[in-house]
Structure 1
Amino acid sequence: MSTLPQQPSEGTNRERPTVAVARAARMLADAGVEGARAEAELLAAYVLGVSRGRLALADGFTPAQRDRFDALVTRRADREPLQHLTGTAAFRHLELAVGPGVFVPRPETELLAGWGVDQARRIPEPLVVDLCSGSGAIALAVAQEVPAARVVAVEGSPEALSWLRRNAADRAAAGDRPIEVVAADVTAPDLLADLAGRVDVLLCNPPYVPADVTVPPEVGRHDPANAVFGGGDGLSVIRPVVARVAVLLRPGGVLGMEHDDTHGEVVPRLLAEDGRYASIADHTDLAGRPRFATASRRADGPHAGDGPAWQTASS
């Protein structure tokens, strides 16, 4: 196990944050952690109980704080996710509790959530469903930003459900509109039967990584595999969800679904081939990679000769 050299501030047992961060950043960079400096600063701020922006103004580390910081940096160098070390993940305007057993929400998913918020705001009292909810990131973001929405979050993993329920309770206690949590398999043919034909906005961040793809250690060792991998081609959950969503949406209701960056053509094609969707588009993330597909539920049957079945769109 690596250890960090210690350098107390002159004339005191405290170590300056700048010194601690510099040596931690070097260790994290050597371990292959991207954004090593930023992550070292976040860990230092976490240990000192200050915001990252006020880190330079903070008192130095006491010996006990330095030991705690060193231990966290060593764990991060071993590629344990930063969010597991701090116990929280930032998502839009939220801080969510996360840890072993639940997928850590990613910044790119904020684009899908933002799209869903925009769609829900167009409806006076929208019914919004979040499938594969995990920590509840998308569902809770919509509930916070669209107070008039009824939000239903669906998750099948018992481990993830405990995090989802915890976050839902925390946000309700903070004053956000409570969401409804449903324990269910999103591939079930009778999923949310009581909501069939009534959903205004349906959002989904399913497991979609193809099984043979090598993922970073933070994902492969710590994110639950059933929240990451979607079978051999990454579509084992997406296919049944596409079919079921068409039943759940009202005519004119909309779907937004995240997908792998290799699925920029195949997921829109699945939506087009289903025949019950219109206005199919694919959207890129901030890095320009295909990231999520959107569509609306037809009010009638499939139409031939409508022009292009789908199009790309920037986010």
Structure 2
Amino acid sequence: MTTRSRDLLADAEARLAAAGVASPRPDAETLLAHLLGVPRGLLPLQDAVGADDASAFSALVERRCAREPLQHLTGTAAFRHVDLAVGPGVFVPRPETELLAGWAIEQAAGLDAPVVVDLCTGSGAIARSIADEVPHARVHAVELDPAAHAWAERNLAGTGVDLRLGDMAEEFDDLLGTVDVVVCNPPYIPWEAWESVAVEARDHDPHLALFSGDDGLVAMRVLAQRAALLLRPGGVVGAEHADVQGESAPAVFAATGRWLDVRDHRDLAGRARFTTARLAR
């Protein structure tokens, strides 16, 4: 017995919408394409779905209705030009972070032998993208959480990235004063914002990757101090932040007196998204 794919998708879309999933149709199509092993764009050619696949699809939809992250269900997350393995224990990279990665890539690409450090690497998304798009760069990355580090190991295998398990506040003493670009997507959510965090993130992303003290800027302050030690004079740092931190995040760097050209950047939706600065000579 078979079921038409369009009927499966219509039912899944309705179930996902009722569960409060923000993008019910794309999620339904992504799950069915993943299950059938075909590109999402070719789903219209999959007219009939067998009973076993239809049952398995329904089970995936049910898990998504429970707000399990889509990427956990497919096991992958697209980031710029690479596909990353993700799952429980690691922060799922967001599309907006691609802008920060793009900035770091632009900074490194213009140098002959750039040294780049990715702090709080998580899944390894930014480090992997830099290694992919700036192959002449020497890329280093560090992650504190052992579970997330294991995912980064998987994603960075064979890339030449120097991945370490450790604290961003203490790692890379061997690189002090030699780094050209420091990039970081630190935790930046205040604890008081717990209730406003999307269920997928709050219940499934590691809290170490999400929350950073009462004002959300504890890790940012650590970054401003550590990057100043790692970078060569004139080197640059870039860090993502919450959209409500468009003034407070740059202020962290400006307050130290060690940084020049401190500026904030907006994402494609016009929201404040990441801060950059240059170490004074």
Quote the Cα distance in structure 1 between the aligned partners of 2:4 and 2:108: 48
Helix, strand or coil at the partner of 1:292: strand
**Is the counterpart of residue 105 in structure 1 residue 102 in structure 2?**
no
Quote the Cα distance in structure 2 between the aligned partners of 1:252 and 1:14: 64
Helix, strand or coil at the partner of 1:119: helix
**Partner of 1:32 in structure 2?**
20
1:212 CA drift (Å): 1.1
**What is the letter of the counterpart of residue 127 of structure 2?**
A
**Partner of 2:133 in structure 1?**
145
CA contact (8 A) 2:220 2:252 kept: no
1:140 CA drift (Å): 0.2
**Partner of 2:166 in structure 1?**
184
**Partner of 1:18 in structure 2?**
6
1:60 CA drift (Å): 2.0
Quote the Cα distance in structure 2 between the aligned partners of 1:124 and 1:111: 22
Q: Deviations over 1:170-214 (max 9, x none)?
A: xx2xxxx421101111133xx311111100111000000111112
**Partner of 2:173 in structure 1?**
193
**What is the letter of the counterpart of residue 178 of structure 2?**
R
CA contact (8 A) 2:182 2:236 kept: yes
Residue of structure 2 aligned with 1:218, choices 194, 200, 212: 200
**Partner of 1:313 in structure 2?**
none
1:252 CA drift (Å): 1.2
**What is the letter of the counterpart of residue 67 of structure 2?**
R
- Equivalent positions of 1:1-315 (< 5 A) are 13-169=1-157, 172=158, 177-188=159-170, 191-213=171-193, 214-299=196-281
Structure 1 residues 141-150 or 51-60, which shifts more?
A: 51-60
Q: Deviations over 1:220-273 (max 9, x none)?
A: 110001100111110111111111101111111110100111111111111111
Q: Deviations over 1:50-93 (max 9, x none)?
A: 00111101252111101110000000000000000000111001
Q: How large is the RMSD of aligned CA atoms in angstroms?
A: 0.9
Helix, strand or coil at the partner of 2:250: helix
CA contact (8 A) 1:97 1:167 kept: yes
Helix, strand or coil at the partner of 2:113: coil
Which entry has the higher C-alpha Rg, 1 or 2?
Answer: 1
**What is the letter of the counterpart of residue 107 of structure 1?**
P
Quote the Cα distance in structure 2 between the aligned partners of 1:18 and 1:234: 44
**What is the letter of the counterpart of residue 205 of structure 1?**
N
CA contact (8 A) 1:253 1:297 kept: yes
What TM-score, normalized by structure 2, do the two folds share?
0.97
Quote the Cα distance in structure 2 between the aligned partners of 1:211 and 1:234: 7
Helix, strand or coil at the partner of 2:42: helix
What TM-score, normalized by structure 1, do the two folds share?
0.87
Quote the Cα distance in structure 1 between the aligned partners of 2:278 and 2:127: 19
Quote the Cα distance in structure 1 between the aligned partners of 2:84 and 2:147: 15
Structure 1 residues 72-81 or 262-271, which shifts more?
A: 262-271
Q: Which runs of 4+ in 1 moved over 4 A?
A: none
Quote the Cα distance in structure 2 between the aligned partners of 1:132 and 1:223: 14
Contiguous gaps of at least 5 residues in structure 2: none
1:297 CA drift (Å): 0.9
Helix, strand or coil at the partner of 2:191: coil
CA contact (8 A) 1:187 1:237 kept: no
